[in-house]
Structure 1
Amino acid sequence: MSIKPSTDSEGSGISQLSDEGSGISQPSDEVTLTVSDAARAVLSVSPQKWLTEGDPVTLNCEVDGSSTGWTFSWFTETLSLDLSDRYKPLSDSRRGAGGKYSVSSVALNHTGVYVCRAERGKPTYETWYSNTQPLWVTGVSPPVSLIISPSRTQHFTSDFLSLSCGDQSNSDRWTVRRYSDSGRPEDCSSSVSGSQTGSTCTISSTSTLDTGVYWCQSESGEKYNPVNITVHSDVILESPVHPVTEGETLTLRCLFKYTSPSNLRSDFYKDESLVQNQTIEMIIPTVSKSHEGFYSCKHPRGESLKSWISVRGSHSESQISVLKILTSVLAACPYLIVTVVLIYKCCRMRRKKPE
């Protein structure tokens, strides 16, 4: 018996066993080859992806099926179709082991779509890029405002919808972008019935595919004023487009497309808990930070999608606090001056006292 390479027509290269002189050959023993894919990183966000300027947030990156020895890198996703340019590393993208990227106080420029990746060993073994996780940060006074008409976050199908970036000083430098079910940022005009002219995007006939987060983006990549827009066929929640200021009144209505008037008695929910039932509208006379959350409505004709309502601090309250501090300091100044003068005089008298 001798081992000879196979010479079949397809050049398989499988060795065969041959009895000398007999011309009889048999296949070799089976060899099992196992090819393993690269491990995948999994990204999550805590406490939530909708944030108000100044809130804390943490991105958590884990490697599926493994736990130790990894070093993590962090990226934001771009509009580029070229895979080599699709992910832009953060300036402080490497934060060592642990898989946590924390920001104690988010700013407007933290708005974006994030991914992570992990590596370990020598030679370096890298995971695939993680799933995407968007962060949406609403600010107190952003330099540009996303103006939506009709002015609400939820819209019926087949509606006309206009979105524009309201910066009268330099409107040409802004473009409306969106993040939808496609899973990556794209131009607003990518909508089936969408078109972009300057800083204005119009959707002539909305569909459920137009559901997504829309924002204004500058030529240099700055992102401002993200708004979550949803499109539904029958029932929608009428809620304010932009954050509500503490102390203001918040009014919510449940609208049904096929009745006139469209607002009917409905149940209203916050974070999936019933807060008010069988009313035409839900009114919160004095909004506080505790009212921030996801709201929806329901009546026999159907149920709306959820809308995030953000609450920001009052400017007047901040100003009053500063004034109180200044007033207290000024009121205390005379006493401090008198105290210093008395101490100075006492010291001089002690020096002049004869021994």
Structure 2
Amino acid sequence: MSIILISRLVGLTAFVIQVATSKESPKAILSVWPPGTTVYVGESVFLQCRVERGGTAAWTYRWSRKQPHTTLTTGRGLLVSGDSLSITGVSREDSGPYWCQAETERNNVTVLVQSDPAHMAVSDLAHSMLTVTPSSRQFYRGDRFTVQCPTSESNNSTGWVLQQLTKDFGLRTADFQNGSCSPLEGAVIPKTRETCIFSSVYSGNGGLYWCERAGVRSNAVNISVSYGSIILESPVHAVSEGDVVVLSCIYWNKSRSETTFFRNGVEVVTLSSYKTDKVIKMTIDNVTSAHQGFYKCASRDRKMESSESWLAVRSNSTSTDGSTDAAGDGVWKWASLTCFIVLLLLLIPLTIWLVYRYRYQMSCTRGCCPSTKEGAAMALPKTKQDVSEVQWDLSWMEMSNLLDKHYILGAVVESN
């Protein structure tokens, strides 16, 4: 009896330990910033992988897209830093489900946990646009810039809230209802129409900014604060084909004798300047989709180099909300349908005429035209055209005779 009781107690203890262990097993949580399943072409997106109940273990992370357990290839525009993945200049190819996988060693045993998928659908330009003035993603410490939520003359942009995601993934929301920009840090001055002015920028003002209202959000802009010697000022939003675009390389003190601009790591142009100049500008006339890419500037000796900024170019065939011109599609559809109807109307009478002519030739061959066997005299051809006509008629007559013989032979066989 005591042995049975002991075994039951041991089994119950093992069951309790197993349940406690399953409840304490680590779990990977994947978050997307800005939140939601829709992201917009050209904006910046951050993904964070967080392990719950992971203890003090050191975790390493791997990322997958579209297929789980396959390592995502990083490169220009895709950057992995610890437990985060950043996408700069979102493109159509960035759509799909994402997974993160965390791995660690415990008692010489590999522990592997994978998150649930986070789905990202890439859409064209957002209907509501966040405005940054001056239009740049890079600023020096001590600079001044303004962030303004989308405005509308009809509703005076009422109801928007400004969100800031800091570098350590802290979320701050500007309290416009109380007429302030707190808890945004630094020298921030509130202004009308849900606008915040950062009058003296410091590192804490860097991060991802976007506006939200009633389940709708604007595009997101990633702002960086530099403590270096050179930055690049470029348009925050996508520019249209045919526009004139100016990229400004801004030095903290003074420029060198030559400044080089790069696109996607390849030298575009080198401009000479006076050493007293702090701003060197590169102008792109009649911009096209070929000019889209990551830009940076550097001194000729490459001792000073800015961060990269994404320049997005919007096709003129795309409307302001990013959708293709529906009217143009409609015109092409109606034109195609009209051509098909006209072709059909031409083919039907032509087909009827050919059938009628065939039946007429057959009836003429059998009943109207005299047979050569009956000794009917035929006029001799006088010209080459008459010869062709006679050959044509003889061909039909021979075919008719063959058909008649086949018909008569079949009738005789059936009667027998």
Q: TM-score range by the shorter chain?
A: 0.5 to 0.7
The answer to which of 168-177 and 188-197 deviates more is 188-197
Give the corresponding residue for 2:101.
62
Letter of the 1:60 counterpart: W
The whole-number CA distance in structure 2 between the counterparts of 1:351 and 1:61 is 75
| Residue 275 of structure 1, aligned match among 264, 268, 271 | 268
Q: CA deviation at 1:277?
A: 2.5
Match of 1:172 among 144, 154, 158: 158
Asked whether the 8 Å contact 1:45–1:57 carries over to 2, the reply is no
Report the equivalent of 1:199: 194
Is residue 296 from structure 1 mapped to residue 304 from structure 2 by the alignment?
no
Which residue identity is paired with 1:298?
A
Residues 172 and 310 of structure 1, relative CA distance in 2, 3 Å threshold: same
Secondary structure (helix, strand or coil) at the match of 2:149 reads strand
Q: What is the deviation of 1:181?
A: 1.0
Distance 1:71 1:155, change over 3 A: closer
1:157 CA displacement: 1.9
Letter of the aligned partner of 2:101 in structure 1? E
Aligned to 2:223: 229
Q: Is the alpha carbon distance of 1:330 and 1:181 closer, same or farther for their aligned partners in structure 2, counting shifts above 3 Å? A: same
> Any idea what the Cα deviations from partners look like across 1:294-328, whole Å, max 9, x if unmatched?
22111268322221222333226955963556545
1:106 alignment counterpart: 122
Query: Structure 2, unaligned stretches of length 5 or more?
Result: 1-20, 29-60, 66-73, 79-86, 105-109, 175-180, 273-279, 364-416
Amino acid at match of 1:73: D
2:332 paired with 1:330: no
The equivalent residue for 1:254 is 249
Contact kept in structure 1, 2:144 and 2:197, CA below 8 Å: yes
Structure 1 residue identity aligned to 2:130:
L
Q: Which structure 2 residues correspond to residues 121-132 of structure 1 after superposition, within 5 A?
A: none
Do 2:99 and 2:115's aligned partners in 1 also have CA atoms closer than 8 Å? no
Matching residue of 2:309: 307
Q: Does the C-alpha gap of structure 1 residues 316 and 73 become closer, same or farther in structure 2, counting only changes over 3 Å?
A: closer
Q: 2:63 matched to which residue of 1?
A: 44
State whether residues 255 and 264 of structure 1, in contact with CA within 8 Å, keep that contact through their aligned partners in structure 2. no
Q: Residues 16-62 of structure 1: CA distance to partner in whole angstroms, max 9, x if unpaired? A: xxxxxxxxxxxxxxxxxxx9x85564363667423146853442322
SS of alignment partner, residue 145 of structure 1 = coil
Q: Confirm or deny: 8 A CA contact 1:230 1:305 kept in the other structure.
A: no
Output the amino acid matched with 1:275.
V
Q: CA deviation at 1:271?
A: 3.2
Note if contact 2:246-2:283 (Cα within 8 Å) is conserved in structure 1: yes
Higher strand share: 1
Larger Cα-atom Rg: 2
Amino acid at match of 1:274: E
TM-fit CA distance, 1:206: 0.7
* Matched pairs, number: 258
- 1:73 matches 2:92: no
1:342/1:316 CA distance change after superposition, 3 Å: farther
1:217–1:316 Cα change, 3 Å: closer
Paired residue type of 1:330: T
More helix by share: 2
* Normalised TM-score (structure 1): 0.58
Q: Report the alpha carbon displacement of residue 163 of structure 1 after superposing the two structures with TM.
A: 0.9
Superposed CA RMSD in Å reads 4.0
CA spacing shift, 1:265–1:350, aligned 2, 3 Å: same
- Paired AA for residue 209 in structure 1: G
Deviation at 1:291, TM superposition (A): 3.6
| Inter-partner Cα distance in structure 1 for 2:359 and 2:94 | 57
Structure 1 partner of 2:133: 149
Measured against aligned partners, the alpha-carbon deviations of 1:203-234 in whole angstroms (never above 9, x if no partner) come to: 1211122222211211x343222122222244
Counterparts of 1:340 and 1:67, CA distance in 2: 73
| Distance apart, 1:330 and its partner CA | 3.5
CA distance in 2, matches of 1:45, 1:312: 29
Structure 1: runs of 5 or more not aligned: 1-34, 76-100, 108-138
Local SS of the residue matching 1:172? coil
Amino acid at match of 1:305: S
> Which residue number in structure 1 is paired with residue 236 of structure 2?
241
Could you tell me how far apart the structure 1 residues matched to 2:238 and 2:353 are? Answer: 58
Q: Distance in 1 between matches of 2:164 and 2:356?
A: 74
- Give me the TM-score of the superposition, normalised by structure 2: 0.51
Aligned-partner residue type, residue 231 of structure 2: I
Question: Structure 1 residues 277 and 312 mapped into 2: Cα distance closer, same or farther (>3 Å)?
Answer: same
Letter in 2 for 1:152: S
Q: Which residue of 1 aligns with 2:399?
A: none
CA distance in 2, matches of 1:251, 1:326: 41
Offset at residue 278 of structure 1 (A): 3.3
Distance change in 2, residues 1:56/1:249 (3 Å): farther
Pair 1:237–1:334, CA change in 2 (3 A): same
In structure 2, distance between residues paired with 1:184 and 1:201: 19
